[in-house]
Amino acid sequence: MAREFASKGVEFVFLYTREAHPGENYPSHRSFEQKLAHARAFKAEFKVERPILVDDLVGTAHKLYGSLPNMTYLISRGGRVLFRADWTDPPTIEYAINYVLNSRARRREGLRLAPFYAELVGYRWNDPGKFQERLARAGRQAVDDFARAMEKRIRQPLRPGRIELPE
Amino acid sequence: MDEETEIEIYNYSEFVGSEEFMTFRTHLPVGSPAPDFQATLLETGLPVNLSEYWKKNDVLIEFGSFT
């Protein structure tokens, strides 16, 4: 997707944050060298071609954008937030980018476009098996911590902004 | 707070859940100016500002880690 949109003026970058699910193989960072080493391992393991920016050890950049483990922002040329999501979901990202590119194209065709504010509840395909595989690669501790956190969350209401889609 | 404490709080060693999901909606809504920051570009080890990317292009930025 990054390659497809690069020719259309959208650059994809990745910001390496703290370990969301630290485990025996990838423990929480205690030095910047360690964080760089994890980022290198991440690049190799998942064949990431996008530029990887490594945040500092106290998460300065991560905190500015909301501190979530796997969020995405689309920022316009010039530096305004056009779209954001508290979870990274490729089809939703594609949808958002195409919306922006199409809006530009319509304006170029001479349509008068007035900006307005919009929000969206997202629905993503969730593959628990794959997620558990990722946790297992971090280590046994990551698997156990996640299971404990889920037990706790089941007793809590859905997070704000998340609703089941009525049939 | 000294730096070591700040590092240990941010880089928690046990995942207990992401409380930040509760505050995300009001944190940086669409239309906001994107905050600039400096980070280390892994490929070169050199500092880079996010704004260098959005000067020329739209930017899609994903946040994450190995785990």
Q: What's the sign of the alpha-carbon dihedral A95, B30, B65, A130?
A: negative
* Residue A73 φ/ψ, nearest 5 degrees: -125, 140
**What pLDDT is stored for residue B62 in this prediction?**
98
User: Which residues of B are less than 8 Å from A11 in CB distance?
Assistant: 53, 56-60
B5 touches chain A (CB under 8 A): no
- Residue A163 maps to a domain: no
- Residue A154 C-alpha, separation from nearest chain B C-alpha, in angstroms: 12
Contacts of B52 in chain A (CB under 8 A): none
Its domain, for residue A102, covers 2-126
In a domain, residue A159? The reply is: no
Q: What is the CATH number of the domain that holds A10?
A: 3.40.30.10
Residue B67 included in any domain: no
B47 touches chain A (CB under 8 A): no
Tell whether B63 is covered by a domain. Answer: no
- Whether A132 maps to a domain, the answer reads no
Inspect the interface and report whether the beta carbons of B28 and A159 lie closer than 8 Å: no
pTM of the predicted model as reported, rounded to 2 decimal places: 0.95
- Report how many domains make up chain B: 1
Shortest Cα distance, chain B CAs vs residue A112, angstroms:
19
A13-17, A53-57, A157-161: least confident range? A157-161
Burial tier of A113 (Cβ tally within 10 Å: 0-12, 13-18, 19+):
exposed
The reply to whether B17 falls in a domain is: yes
B29 within a domain of the structure (yes/no):
yes
pLDDT (tens digit per residue) in A105-133 = 999 999 999 999 999 999 999 999 999 99
Chain A residues close to B27, C-beta within 8 Å: 65-66
B3 CB within 8 Å of a chain A CB: yes
Query: Is residue A60 one of the residues assigned to a domain?
Result: yes
Element (H, E) at A72: strand A72-75
Q: For residue range B7-27, what is the model confidence (pLDDT) as tens digits? A: 999 999 999 988 898 899 899
Separation in Å, CA of A2 to nearest CA in chain B = 9
Q: Within a domain: residue B49?
A: yes
